[in-house]
Chain A
Amino acid sequence: MKNVDKTTHFLDDSNHESNIPREDNSGTAKLKETITPRRLPFWKRCIDIFISLTYIAVVFPLIFLVVGLVIKIVSPRGPILFKERRVGVGGKLFNCLKFRTTHLSDNPAIHGAHVKNLMDTDAPLVNLEDHPRIIPFGKMLRATGIDYLPQLFNVLRGDMSIVGPRPCYTYEKEKYLSWYHERFDVPPGLTGLWQVSGKYRLTFQQMMRLDISYVRNMSLWLDIKIILKTPLAVLWDWNAVRKEMIGMQSDSSISNPEGEMATRITRDFKKDLSGVFISYCHSDRKLAKTILDRLFHNNISVWARDADLKGNYYVNLDDSIEQAINNASYLILLLTPSSIKSSWVRHEWQLVLEKSWENPKKKILPILFADVAAPAFLLDRPILKCKSLEYVDNILLDSLVRIISSHAGTVDDQLELLSFEPNIIKSRFDELFQSAEEINKLGAWDIENA
C-alpha cells in the first residue's frame, strides 16, 4: 500500500504527484505496476455473494422480464443488456453489465466529451439525460438505478462489489490525476459513498474525494450505512426526475427524505446567483430549517451548510461555503447562544465579512435571539430581533422574506439598529494607552535593576 499523508493528499494535486508513484496515462499495463489492490476483507465478499445471489434468485427474473419487455418495445433495435468496458480493481478492465438505456446508434464519444468537460470544469456531475441518445423510459430507469441491476452478476463474479467507488470508464481513467488511482484499490461498487452523498449534485473532485475516503475508511459498519442509505438516495433521485417530468415546482411543504434539505439547497444555490446564504450552528439546525422552509416557500433560494456534509466524507466544505457566499446577495447570520461560541461559525462570519467588504451589495442580515450579546462587528448595523430561540414568529419571517424579495437596500421598518456603547470604545482605548505605558516600562527594567 502506498504510504501517503492523508491531509495533503486531498488538498494539493502537486503534492499527490510527488508522493505517489507517477504513471503516464497510457493505460492498464502501466497502472498494474503501481497499484497493488488491497486484500478485501472476508465479510465484504460474504455480503456481496449473499446480496447478489438473493437478488438474482428472487427479484431479478421479474425485473428482467418487465424491463426487457419495455426496452424491446421502446427501442426494438439492439439488445436488452449491454456490456461496457470499465476499469475495475487494480486497474483491470472488465465487462460491466447494464440494461440498455440508449439507442444502439449512440456515439460513446459524446459521453466521453461530456465526462472530460465535467472533469475540466469541476461542475456538478449532471447526466446527459436530455440527450436524444436516451430511449423513452431510459431516464426513469437511470433515476431509479434499475439499469444497474444486471451488475449484480458482476458482483457475483467478483469484478465488482455491492459497495465501492463508482465504476470508471476507460476514457475517464486516461485523464485521471495520479492521486485518483487510489480508488482502484478496491472493486467498484453498485452503490457507494458518492451515490448516497449527493451523487449528480456533486462535482467530479468531490466524487473522487468521497470514493477515496471510502477506500481508506472501508468498514462493515460503513458498508451497512451506505446500503441502508441507498434506497433513500434512489428515492430522492427518482422524486427529482418525477417532478421534472410532471413539471412540478418545488414545494417546501412536501415531506422530505433525509438529506433532501441539503440537496435542494445545494442545487438551488448553484443555479441562482442572487440567493441567500445562512450561517448557523449545527445545534440550531431546526431553527435554520424553519427559516429555510419559509424562504423556499417564497421561492427564495438558500444555501446552508448541512451537518451531514461537514467533515465526514472529505467534501471540501470550505470551498463550497466560499462559493455560496460569493453567489449570495443576502448573508443571514443566526446569532444564538451556541453560534456565538462556535469557532466554525466564527470562521463563516469571517468569510461573510470579507465578501461583504469586497462587494458592498451583499447585505448582512443578522438575526439576534434574546439574551445574546451581539459580536462587535455587528454593532451599529441593522438587525432583526427575535424573542426566543424556540419560537420564530411570523412577523420576523415575513419581514425577512419582504426584505429579501424586494432586494431592499435600505434599513427596513422591521430592522433595528444595534446600538453600541461609545463608553466601551473609550474604556478600551484608555486600557490601550495604559498598556502602552506598561510595555514601555518592560524595556526599562534592566536599567532600573542595574
Chain B
Amino acid sequence: MPSPTTELRREHSVFINCPFDKYYEPLLDCIFFSTICCGFVPRSSKENETVSEFRINKIKSAIFHSKYSIHELSICRGEGEENLARFNMPLELGICIGQSRNDTEKSVCHEWLGLVPKGHIFKKFISDLSGFDPKEHDCTPESIVPAVVSWLITRPEAIKTLTPKDILFLLETFTKQKTKLSEEWNGQPLWGDLIKCAATIVKPNLATSEDRF
C-alpha cells in the first residue's frame, strides 16, 4: 500500500469514523463538509477502494496519517434479525484513543471528538467516555455542524471559516452535487472527488465572508 505523500499532511487530516449506511449518510455529509469548511482533509477507510488490502489496514493507515478524528457513536443498539451490535465504530475509536495516549511525542499526537446521541445515554452504552465530554446531537445537521465546527475551528491548524448557519446553507448544495456524483459513479463516488466537490463550494464563500461581530 502506498504511503501518503507530503500532500496529505497529517496535521491537516481528520479521520472520520461514521457509519456508511444510507440511513446515516446525512450525518456523514455534515461531518465531511464541516471538516472541509475548517480547512481539513477528511480521511476514512472509504478513501482507498483497493481490494488487495485488508480493511483494518486501510483504517489504520487513515488513522495513523491523521492528527484528528471524529467519531459518530449513534449506533448503540442491536440490528437485524439476530439483533447484533456493530463494533466497528468503537473499534476505530479505540485505535484513535490508543494513538492519542502517545501525546508526548508531537509527531504522533492525536486528538479526537466523540459525537453521541442526545440524552446522556452514552453513559450507559459507552460509560468509559464519561468525563471526555463527547458532543451530543439529535441526528440533525443543525446540531451536528456546530458541534464539529466548534471543535475543529479551535484546533491550531484550522483556517478562518464560515458560521454554522452559512455552512448549513452550503451543505444543501453539496448534497445535491454529491447525489449527481454518486449517479455518475454508480453510487460509489471517489472520496477524493467528494473532497474536491466540497472544496469547490466552500472556497469562494470563505473569501467573501462578512464581519460577524
Within 8 A of B (CB), among A426-450: 428-429, 431-443, 445-446, 449
Q: Judge if B114 is at the interface, Cβ distance under 8 Å.
A: no
- Chain A residues 337 to 383 lying within 8 A of chain B, measured CB to CB, are 340, 343, 346-347, 349-351, 353-354, 357, 363, 375-377, 379-382
Docked-complex contact B195 and A420, CB < 8 angstroms: no
For A8, the chain B residues whose CB sits under 8 A away are 123, 127, 130
Asked if residues A377 and B161 are in contact (CB atoms below 8 Å), the reply is yes
B212: which A residues are within 8 A, CB to CB? 380-381
- Contact: B213 with A411, CB < 8 Å? yes
B156 touches A340 (CB 8 A): yes
Segment from B2-10, B16-24, B77-85 that makes contact with A: B2-10
**Distance A382 CA – B211 CA, assembled complex (angstroms):** 9
Known contacts: A380-B211, A440-B191, A442-B48. The answer to whether A7 contacts B41 by CB under 8 A is: no
Given contacts A376-B160, A442-B47, contact A433 B153 (CB under 8 A): no
Segment at the interface with B among A11-19, A94-102, A187-195? A11-19
Is A106 an interface residue, CB under 8 A from the partner? Answer: no
Q: Let me know if A425 and B39 touch, CB within 8 A.
A: yes
- What are the residues of chain B within 8 A of A436 when measuring CB–CB? 41, 192-193, 195-196, 199
A438, B160: Cβ atoms under 8 Å?
no
Cβ distance B125 to chain A, nearest Cβ, rounded Å: 12
- Cβ of B124 within 8 Å of any chain A Cβ, yes or no, is yes
Q: Contact between B48 and A438 (Cβ–Cβ < 8 Å)?
A: no
Task: Report the separation of the CA atoms of residues A149 and B48 in the bound assembly, to the nearest whole angstrom.
Answer: 73
Residues of B within 8 A of A442 (CB): 1-2, 4, 47-48, 50
Q: Once bound together, how far apart are the Cα atoms of A411 and B9, in whole Å?
A: 37
Is A422's CB within 8 Å of the partner chain B? yes
| Residue from B36, B124, B130, B213 with most neighbouring chain A CB atoms (10 Å) | B213
Q: Give chain A nearest CB distance to B38 CB in angstroms.
A: 8
Query: In the complex, A414 Cα to B36 Cα: how many Å?
Result: 34
Q: Is the CB of B158 within 8 A of A432?
A: no
Q: From B67-75, B90-98, B171-179, B201-209, give the one contacting chain A.
A: B201-209
B48 x A376 contact (CB < 8 A): no
Chain B residue with the shortest CB-CB distance to A411 = B213
Report the minimum CB–CB distance from B197 to chain A (whole Å).
9
* Shortest distance from the beta carbon of B113 to any chain A beta carbon, whole Å: 9
Give the most central of A380, A382, A428: most B CB within 10 Å.
A428
Query: Is there an interface contact between A429 and B199, defined as CB atoms closer than 8 Å?
Result: yes
A405-431 contacts to B, CB under 8 A, are 411, 417, 420, 422, 424-425, 428-429, 431
Collect the chain A residues with CB atoms within 8 Å of residue B39's CB: 376, 425, 428-429, 432
A432 touches B1 (CB 8 A): no
In the complex, whether A244 has a CB less than 8 A from a CB of chain B is no
Is the CB of A318 closer than 8 A to any CB of chain B? yes
Query: Which residues in A have their C-beta under 8 angstroms from that of B127?
Result: 5, 7-8, 12, 15
Q: Known: A15-B123, A357-B146, A381-B212. Is A439-B192 also a contact (CB below 8 A)?
A: yes
Can you list 20 A-B contacts (CB < 8 A)?
A5-B127, A12-B120, A350-B150, A353-B153, A354-B146, A357-B164, A380-B160, A417-B211, A425-B39, A425-B160, A425-B206, A431-B9, A432-B196, A433-B199, A435-B7, A435-B8, A435-B195, A439-B191, A442-B48, A449-B52
Knowing that A424-B159, A445-B1 touch, tell me 14 more A-B residue pairs with CB under 8 angstroms: A7-B131, A8-B130, A350-B154, A353-B154, A376-B153, A376-B161, A377-B161, A428-B12, A435-B8, A435-B41, A436-B192, A439-B192, A440-B192, A442-B2
Top 8 nearest A-B pairs by Cβ distance? A440-B192, A436-B192, A439-B192, A436-B195, A379-B160, A443-B49, A446-B50, A446-B52
Spell out B's residues near A (CB within 8 Å): 1-2, 4-5, 7-9, 12-13, 36, 38-39, 41, 43, 47-53, 111, 120, 123-124, 127, 130-131, 133, 146-147, 150-151, 153-156, 158-161, 163-165, 190-193, 195-196, 199, 202-203, 206-207, 209, 211-213
